[in-house]
Amino acid sequence: MSDPSPHILVVDDHRDIRETLARYLIRNGLRASTAENAAHARKALKAASVDLVVLDIMMPGEDGLSLCRHLVEAGSMPVILLTAMADDTDRVIGLEIGADDYVTKPFNPRELLARIRAVLRRTSLAPRERDPIEQEMLHFDGWMLNVARRELKDPEGTAVALSSGEFQLLCAFLKRPKMVLNRDQLLDLTTGRTPAVFDRSIDNQVSRLRRKIEVDPKDPKMIKTVWGGGYMFAADVKDQTE
């Protein structure tokens, strides 16, 4: 039986960094492979299924940004960049071309592990791929959300304004109906970050969204609180093709 643990590919031209990190990831329940440059990374990606790439930006030959761009365009897997403290420009470019996160060198392996798990959690919750036209209209309990236009209308057809945070939160719920999502997952899905200690921003966003879509926000029927678990969108959701 194959190992179901997520497989991480560590790409760095410094042997001590990539080997030490790989051993740390393995000790913490992940599978890990290593590659010393982009060429070896491409071979490794063809030879085995990889769930996430930890990728150094500064490497001889093809640099990390070039490989990152290739991976993002191929839509194959998430990427976390390793960047030197002074490489702000490269870091920003990496995020602009689609890297999922970055960690500056020298890094704390525990922090990198937390970021890897956060990205894996976020990508594992991603809805299945669908044709763009199928994603434009989402209907729930008489309401309609035009995702492309970011427009929400109530059952009477009246437009209801949403902040950016409320829109992202509603999309996260509508694409995962009847699924319990905890605060960590909702933060990952809406802001791409892990929560700080005592971070209550998701609770505040849920409260504001309830005030806009629930008949009685104090007795919500759509966005249910799951005690000890998080929140669940309880209403049925249909798209325009159903």
| Distance of alpha carbon 61 from alpha carbon 70, whole angstroms | 15
Which domains are assigned to the chain?
7-124 (3.40.50.2300), 132-237 (1.10.10.10)
pTM over 0.85? The answer is no
pLDDT of residue 97: 75
Per-residue pLDDT of the chain (242 residues; tens, 9 = 90+): 445 688 999 999 999 999 999 999 999 999 999 999 999 999 998 888 888 999 999 888 888 888 988 887 776 678 899 987 655 676 677 777 778 888 888 889 999 999 898 888 876 655 544 444 345 789 999 999 998 888 999 999 999 988 877 888 999 999 899 998 888 788 877 765 554 434 567 888 899 899 999 999 999 999 999 987 789 999 999 886 44
| Distance of alpha carbon 116 from alpha carbon 76, whole angstroms | 16
pLDDT of residue 198: 41
pLDDT of residue 113: 93
Tokens 């930890």, located at residue: 54
